[in-house]
């Protein structure tokens, strides 16, 4: 049976149009002047047990809103959402038994208590029998050496250690689905690798469905077989990661600080690049941050070094940073039809 089923799911928020000043604040109290924000505007997809799905999109796209509806926090405005056959919002406590949730930024463990005590409390809450409990902890200890942390208070752990404990906790009761939100944020490469392999192993041995929301495309590449891209409340893409992989891997974004930047600079840049590299250069130029111009390059078509060299010889560049493609740029490319 399909584990997660969404059909034409929508969530609208009524936001009060606020007015300024003290008079305005008083007016607002009696005002009926709302505007409707469609955070989620009719999305549909099905997720089967055992899938690892990356649910990505820019900030404000509607990701968290969807997750909140899946976990029973928000009531949908329209459409259908079912997890394991039941409406999450109407069955919050019941559904919580089959779910695990990990927030990268906030721990779900008890701050002042030793790690093992948090686990023991969870064992009581989720009614995990002793055998399963010991097996789980044994497995985690084997995979990531967790035992050493057991007696430490959660508050004394480093970010990486805390994440490992949070992930352990989320799988403790053998849930059917685990929601991971930014699980590797702020962590160094070696811990990231550990966490990624941990998640893969858990999915492999227990067939746990995993929904991953993250801005870290490295996570997405390493873990997901399927990607759902959402933007402005609508699904942009839902399919195999291989197609999108091509999108990520080859792309690099050059962030340039161009002296005396003006609106004309952007146009000039595009013109000159087309002139130098031809019309199908696969380079996009945009101003996303103050002072920084983003030049996104498809390395399959145009070598980065050539582009950088060209720009630097023709424009006064004060500073350069090279980054992997950002989520925003991925979405922009998808809009531009990169996946057609």
SS3 152: coil
Least CB distance from residue 208 to another protein, whole Å? 16
Pairing relation of β-strands 34-47 and 317-324? unpaired
Q: How far is CA 125 from CA 74, 135, 160, in A?
A: 23, 18, 25
**Dihedral angle computed from the Cα positions of residues 228, 230, 234 and 236, in that order, rounded to the nearest 10 degrees:** -60
Q: Is 110 a residue that touches another protein (CB under 8 A)?
A: yes
The yes or no reply on residue 84 touching another protein (CB under 8 A) is no
**DSSP letters spanning 170-189:** HHTT--SEEEEESTTTT--H
Round to whole Å and give the CA distance between 62 and 181: 14
Is position 162 an interface residue for another protein (rule: CB under 8 A)? no
Q: Which of 3, 52, 99, 327 binds another protein (CB under 8 A)?
A: 99
Does 19 interact with another protein (rule: CB under 8 A)? no
Q: Which stretch binds another protein (CB under 8 A): 110-118, 214-222, 265-273, 317-325?
A: 110-118
Reported as type and span, the H/E element at residue 253 is: strand 251-258
130 is a site residue for another protein (CB under 8 A)? no
Is the CB of 103 or the CB of 315 nearer to another protein? 103
Least distance (Å) between residue 317 CB and another protein: 35
- For residue 166, which of 96, 216, 222, 101 has the smallest C-alpha distance? 101
Min. distance of Cβ 289 from another protein in angstroms? 20
- Chain residues 197-256 in contact with another protein, contact rule CB under 8 A: none
Minimum CB distance to another protein smaller for 112 or for 240: 112
Residues 48-67 close enough to bind another protein by CB under 8 A:
59-65
Phi and psi (nearest 5°) for 277? Answer: -105, 0
Judged by CB, which is closer to another protein: 110, or 310? Answer: 110
Candidates 65, 64, 122, 115; CA nearest to 97 is: 122
Which residues contribute to the site for another protein (CB under 8 A)?
13, 39, 59-65, 68, 71-75, 92-94, 96-97, 99, 101, 103, 106, 108, 110, 112-114, 117, 120-121, 124-126, 153
């Amino acid at each position: 049976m399909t584990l997660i089923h969404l059909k034409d799911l929508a969530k609208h928020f009524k936001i009060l149009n606020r007015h300024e000043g003290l008079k305005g604040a008083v007016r607002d109290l009696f005002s009926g002047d709302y505007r409707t924000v469609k955070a989620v505007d009719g999305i549909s997809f099905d997720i089967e047990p055992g899938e690892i799905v990356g649910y990505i999109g820019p900030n404000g796209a509607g990701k968290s809103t969807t997750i909140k509806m899946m976990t029973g926090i928000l009531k949908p405005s329209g459409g259908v959402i079912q997890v394991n056959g039941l409406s999450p919002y109407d069955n919050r406590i019941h559904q919580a038994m089959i779910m695990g949730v990990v927030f990268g930024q906030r721990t779900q463990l008890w701050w002042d208590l030793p790690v093992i005590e948090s686990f023991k409390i969870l064992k009581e809450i989720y009614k995990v029998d002793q055998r399963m409990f010991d097996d789980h902890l044994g497995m985690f200890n084997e995979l990531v050496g967790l035992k050493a942390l057991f007696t430490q208070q959660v508050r004394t752990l480093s970010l990486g250690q805390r994440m490992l404990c949070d992930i352990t906790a989320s799988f403790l009761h053998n849930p059917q689905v685990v929601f991971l939100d930014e699980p590797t944020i702020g962590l160094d490469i070696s811990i990231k690798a550990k966490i990624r392999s941990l998640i893969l192993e858990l999915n492999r041995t227990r067939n746990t469905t995993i929904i991953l929301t993250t801005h870290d495309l490295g996570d997405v590449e390493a873990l997901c077989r399927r990607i759902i891209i959402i933007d402005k409340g609508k699904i942009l893409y839902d399919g195999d990661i291989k197609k999108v992989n091509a999108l990520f891997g080859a792309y690099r974004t050059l962030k340039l600080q161009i002296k005396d930047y003006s609106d004309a600079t952007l146009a000039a840049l595009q013109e000159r690049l087309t002139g130098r590299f031809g019309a199908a250069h696969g380079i996009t130029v945009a101003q996303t941050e103050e002072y920084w111009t983003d030049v996104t390059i498809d390395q399959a078509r145009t070598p980065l070094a050539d582009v950088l060299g060209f720009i630097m010889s023709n424009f006064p560049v004060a500073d350069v940073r090279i980054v992997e493609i950002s989520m925003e740029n991925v979405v922009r490319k998808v809009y531009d039809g990169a996946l057609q």
